[in-house]
Chains A and B, each alone.
Chain A
């Protein structure tokens, strides 16, 4: 068993899963916003980044890691709610280009303000979990305290979201508000509150993801920390289908593992190329994502 676990293939699988859960979480938060409010949130990485800065920089000097995370989460919820109320309200029902452009503008503004206040120099985010790989019989296995913490947190978040959506009344209300807002209103659902809640939830997932990414100890927290992760998460969401939370998670994991193998056996340039190829191929097979239920053909 030992040689297998420390083998190159297993190392790639384990590292790939550790990366893949992050992509899956980003994809999940994108799907949440899309399903609850029909908006594609390009600032999905930048908004939690800002919240994480608030949590870490303003309060971190005397508090521990968990307090910082809690404050970041709170800030993330607040940012999500305020953004929905103030900015996104005006975008419902508009042509597809409008929300994309507005959220891109928001992304630029957030990264600019964060860099203006806190500069682009990387800050080291505290991390209570060791990132040293475990050793099995003298050889390293691609798991450490930190990577296990990442995977466990991701699983908890994904399960929580799934449970909320499928099995609770709140989840039903959220889904109904997006699909049939008029009918929901008639049935007594506070639709506008549900829309805000959709953004708040998605920010919650996003902030946890950003905290995990920023804790990566040798790159630290910068205003651009989520840019690369967002790109891969967006690709995962597109591959899995923006309507499918399950698809988001599965495609995130698969992409994470595949790209890890590509980076190891080929070279680091091939990573981006293969990601593009995966996207094109899966969109050719199913233009609305692999896991979407096929929609009725018009006319």
Chain B
């Protein structure tokens, strides 16, 4: 019996002690982000972050993008930073928001974004993925954190009235499709065209752009990423077989690299070789050709036409050697990067938006807030960027780049400009495609 009493006293005593502890702890309420200065910015450092897929099945190639942007920041830091502030770039892995066995227990995009907010970061720069970034839009907005240069061509990032801090960077899906349509009508007039697109806004926007640009496909198929993964690409066989029986001579692919592979592979099996026109999202040869290496005499992507808003790796733009210099200087993330290493589309992409951020930061000046930074961003035209056309945002347009040129895949690792003509167009389905009046000029002296 005495044991029970001792137990009771012990429990009551513990509860008392706990209560005392809580009350005393109450004198220091934990507060997050309640500072008067700009979060993420000190006199010597500015902290930014991004959620990117670095592991898992969907990460193929994408893990290079964040590292390449970081290489730009490291290079700028080595020259003293911007206005004496060094840039700290925190990358968080979100497995593209699809936790599978390759990513067991990995925190979700929301969790990783919250982790960035807790640091705190000044802004997110170059986070990847349409569904993943849609999911955190309202979280970032309600906390006043700018969401910059989202790595996706969706038009969701161009919504200034609802999300004033949200910006895209690359050209949108329907912009490239309109230029594809112009090219197809000029090069293959009257041909039967078939379209294979992803079953979300990637495919829908692409198709709308194609139709608005003047090409109505004879057959349209949409695929789901889940079925692609579940059947290891075998589900694409019937789509390509249909295109073949429709006698399409031109096939437009709005596909991610894995789906491009499935389509090209299915066509190889059927002995079907149309003219391929592939979205910039899924055309990077280094990524797409990898599974075919050594198995086929001619890489199936060679000869395909694609779109690029950055100079092709074989072009003579002054930015290409600069990219090589910057990546080569980053020994930690790009060990052994030499003059013969392939400079693929993912690396160029990362450098592209990295430079965009650095230039915007420089243009804003030494003392800035989030609001003044966004104001600079929407009132400046950046003409000295790696992209083919200048980067310009306005208070009513946050989409990003609006021009580029057509490229052709020349080998398993390289692309070249098709005819070098740079076009611009807007994000509406029917807006005209015109030759670019203004092209980017060289590298700013402070960045060289």
Q: Which residues of A contact B (CB under 8 A)?
A: 8, 11, 15, 19, 107-108, 111-112, 115, 120-122, 124, 126-127, 131-133, 135, 140, 144, 213, 216-220, 222-225, 227-229, 231, 263-264, 268-269, 271-272
Closest chain A CB from B260 CB (angstroms): 10
Chain B residues positioned under 8 Å from A107 (CB to CB): 101
The 24 sampled A-B contact pairs (Cβ below 8 Å) are A107-B101, A111-B101, A120-B55, A122-B60, A127-B295, A131-B268, A132-B268, A132-B271, A133-B269, A140-B244, A140-B270, A140-B271, A140-B272, A216-B234, A218-B261, A218-B262, A218-B268, A223-B102, A228-B230, A228-B231, A228-B232, A229-B232, A263-B238, A272-B230
Q: For chain B, which range describes its interface: under 10, 10 to 19, 20 to 34, or 35 or more residues?
A: 35 or more
Alpha-carbon gap, A217 to B262, bound state (A): 10
* Smallest CB gap from A122: residue in B: B291
CB distance from B242 to the nearest CB of A (A): 8
Which one of B134-142, B183-191, B221-229, B276-284 contacts A? B221-229
Closest residue of chain A to B228 (Cβ to Cβ) is A268
Q: Are B235 and A220 in contact (CB under 8 A)?
A: no
* A117: min CB distance to chain B, Å: 14
A108 to B231 alpha-carbon distance, docked (Å): 20
Query: Is the pair A224, B57 in contact by a Cβ cutoff of 8 Å?
Result: yes
- The answer to whether A120 touches B59 (Cβ under 8 A) is yes
Bound Cα distance A131, B265 (Å): 9
A218-B265 contact given A124-B294, A140-B270, A268-B235, CB 8 Å threshold: yes
Smallest distance from the beta carbon of A124 to chain B beta carbons, Å? 5
User: Smallest CB-CB separation from B230: which chain A residue?
Assistant: A228
Give complex CA distance A218, B288 in Å: 10
Q: CA A131 – CA B271 in complex, angstroms?
A: 10
Report chain A residues within 8 Å CB of B429.
Answer: none
State in angstroms the CA–CA spacing of A213 and B233 once bound together. 12
B interface residues, Cβ below 8 angstroms from A? 55-57, 59-60, 100-102, 104, 223-224, 226-235, 237-238, 241, 244-245, 261-262, 264-266, 268-272, 290-296
Choose from A127, A144, A231 the contact partner of B269 (Cβ within 8 Å): A144
Q: Inside 8 A of A268's CB, which chain B residues have their CB?
A: 223-224, 227-228, 231, 235
Q: In the complex, which residue of chain B has the Cβ closest to the Cβ of A146?
A: B269
Which residue on chain B has the smallest CB distance to residue A127? B295
Q: Does the CB pair B269–A132 fall under 8 Å?
A: yes
- B129 to chain A: closest CB distance in Å? 17
